[in-house]
DNA sequence: ATGTCGGAATTATTCCGA
């Protein structure tokens, strides 16, 4: 079973690129973030033609998350309870015995902005909600754009970025709370010493300068982690394909037994 | 170059968010 997460930065702009990737990588279940699209506009026919059913929690202009799946899934939650006014950022489904949750965590903008405090509060709500509805002894995958660099290895320049947005102790503590509850960062677990990024700014040639961040993760509970055979960041799909513009994020893909 | 994208408000230009 191939699972993936990908912030596509606008479904309207990215649909042909997403179709290209689905055909090449053949995932079984995918969490998508930043649809920037209302539910009524979702191109269900295009997804069905590619072999996928789409479940979405959309919003006009910003945010929005989806799960694409080859098999039917049961929707367990649309929106993070108590945080709905911070945008469409949470979608929880069950695929057979696997809980699959996709999140687009708040960016926070900068430390002086109201959104930074709201980001921390959103994470607290997420941890509380998941502890209510999940069991760390059962298989679950939490995937998405977390907008946090977990450690110095996950940023192109910890020296210049330490203490800034994505790099604060307060944010890292929020991520650690999810880990302490029972999630494992699948990429870091299988590649403990590799510096690899999942996001590069469009500006300034950041991709070619290797100035990126690892902020997109697949987190797994122990029973799900035991099934993981491989995990990679699909850096090739951060590049243009057949003249189609890429997202500023690369997909993260894991293969489970 | 505060360097690029995507989306929306407005009608080719500006703004916002990332």
Which listed CATH number (2.40.10.230, 3.40.50.300, 3.60.10.10, 3.30.70.2200) goes with A2-256?
3.60.10.10
Residue with CA nearest C1' of nucleotide B7: A61
Distance A204 CA to B1 C1' (A): 10
The rounded distance, in Å, linking the Cα atoms of A21 and A16 is 9
Per residue in A86-121, pLDDT (tens digit) is 999 999 999 999 999 999 999 999 999 999 999 999
Contacts of A205 (CB under 8 A, 6+ apart): none
- The burial class, CB within 10 Å (0-12 / 13-18 / 19+), for A19 is middle
The distance (Å) linking the CA of A224 with the C1' of B10 is 50
Domain map (residue ranges) of chain A: 2-256
Mean pLDDT score of chain A: 97
Residue tagged active-site, from A52, A116, A123, A145: A145
Verify whether residue A104 is a known catalytic residue.
yes
pLDDT, one tens digit per residue, over A156-191 is 999 999 999 999 999 999 999 999 999 999 999 999
């Amino acid at each position: 079973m191939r699972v993936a997460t990908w912030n596509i930065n606008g479904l309207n702009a990215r649909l042909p690129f997403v179709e290209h990737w689905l055909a090449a990588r053949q995932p079984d279940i995918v969490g998508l973030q930043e649809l920037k699209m209302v539910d009524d506009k979702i191109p269900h026919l295009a997804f069905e033609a590619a072999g996928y059913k789409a479940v979405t929690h959309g919003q006009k202009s910003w945010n929005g998350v989806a799960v694409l799946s080859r098999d039917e899934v049961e929707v367990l939650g649309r929106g993070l309870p108590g945080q709905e006014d911070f945008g469409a950022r949470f979608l929880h489904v069950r695929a057979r015995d696997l809980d699959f949750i996709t999140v687009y965590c708040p960016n926070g903008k900068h430390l002086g902005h109201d959104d930074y405090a709201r980001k921390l509060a959103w994470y607290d709500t997420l941890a509380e909600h998941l502890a209510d509805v999940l069991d760390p002894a059962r298989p679950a995958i939490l995937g998405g754009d977390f907008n946090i660099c977990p450690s110095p290895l996950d940023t192109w320049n910890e020296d210049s970025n330490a203490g800034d947005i994505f790099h604060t102790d307060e944010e890292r503590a929020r991520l650690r709370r999810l880990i302490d509850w029972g999630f494992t960062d699948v990429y870091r677990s299988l590649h403990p010493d590799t510096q690899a990024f999942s996001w590069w700014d469009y500006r300034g040639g950041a991709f070619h300068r290797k100035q990126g961040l690892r902020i997109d993760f697949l987190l797994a509970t122990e029973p799900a982690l035991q099934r993981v055979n491989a995990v990679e960041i699909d850096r090739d799909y951060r590049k243009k394909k057949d003249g189609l513009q890429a997202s500023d994020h690369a997909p993260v893909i894991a293969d489970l037994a």
